[in-house]
Amino acid sequence: MTKRLYLVRHGETPMNAARLLQGITNANLTAKGQDAADRLGELLQPVPFAKAFSSDRTRTLETAKRILAGHEPKPPLVALSALREYYFGGLEGDPGNAIMARTIRRYGLTTAWRAWVGSKRFPGLVRSIRNADPTHQAEDFPDLLARSRQAFEQVDAQSPDDSDILVVSHGLLLSALIYQLAPDQLPFSLLKNTSVTRIDIVNQKMRVRGVNLTREQDILALRHDEPETDDAAKNETK
């Protein structure tokens, strides 16, 4: 039996629009974010979601409710604190490019560039954030990976077999899960607002079906994507 998870990054917020580090800070959606969530809800309306999960932040709950607005019967929506965004510590509210500037000043341009490219780009980014936090409260990389897995273990345990499940969360939290399953598929700029990532759970193994999808045809194609056999699966983990 397959559990089909539709992972969605929340819609745009004022802090996203201003390119500020948001983390666990609460924020509503902008008008653009609301419109994008409504549009995604229309695209996903044919998907018979049996259950929905969201982080407990305002922006994810609002996104999830807008996506589910046209679904009848409406599935239960469960808020999980484990699905919260990465905690930026003392950097929350700072401009995103401040991390790059601080890292370059501390380590030099060459060392900083090596940390942000190649297969180690995502862990390098998270470690740069932690190292740039003057309060030393920012979440470290191993904790982020562990929390992302624990969050989706909760989703798996609370989801019925052979079902479609909506999960609305945040850019770095969702990226941490993708990084563990298929690091080569993680986009250089990470995940876009209201993008869709599809992960299937088959026999307790996770398989990536699509990442950071925003085009209508790509999202609609997920409904016709046949699951792989065990022998054919390329991206899976226990």
Tell whether 9 is in a known binding site: yes
> pLDDT of 85-122, one tens digit each?
999 999 999 998 877 777 777 767 666 666 656 557 89
> pLDDT of 162-177, one tens digit each?
999 999 999 999 999 9
- Average of per-residue pLDDT across 48-71: 97
Strands (E), 86-182: 163-169
- Tell me: pLDDT of 232 over 70: no
Question: Distance of CA 11 to CAs 65, 71, 171, Å?
Answer: 12, 19, 11
Question: Distance of CA 219 to CAs 40, 63, 97, 214, Å?
Answer: 9, 17, 31, 7
- Tell me: pLDDT of 68 over 70: yes
224 is known as an active-site residue = no
Tell whether 15 is in a known binding site: yes
> pLDDT of 129-148, one tens digit each?
998 899 999 999 999 999 99
Tell whether 12 is in a known binding site: yes
Kind plus residue range of the DSSP H or E element containing 199: strand 196-202
Closest C-alpha among 203, 193, 182 to residue 19: 193
Catalytic residue among 42, 71, 72, 85: 85
Tell whether 228 is in a known binding site: no
At residue 115, the pLDDT reads 61
The conformational region for residue 200 under phi > 0 = left, psi -120 to 50 = alpha, else beta, is beta
Is residue 202 packed enough to be buried (19+ CB in 10 Å), middle (13-18) or exposed (0-12)? middle
Tell whether 134 is in a known binding site: no
At residue 234, the pLDDT reads 43
153 is known as an active-site residue = no
Three-point CA angle 200, 160, 8, nearest 5°: 45
Catalytic residue among 10, 62, 92, 139: 10
d(CA 14, CA 2): 37
pTM of the model: 0.91
Q: Cβ distance 104 to 111 under 8 Å?
A: no
- Average of per-residue pLDDT across 210-221: 95
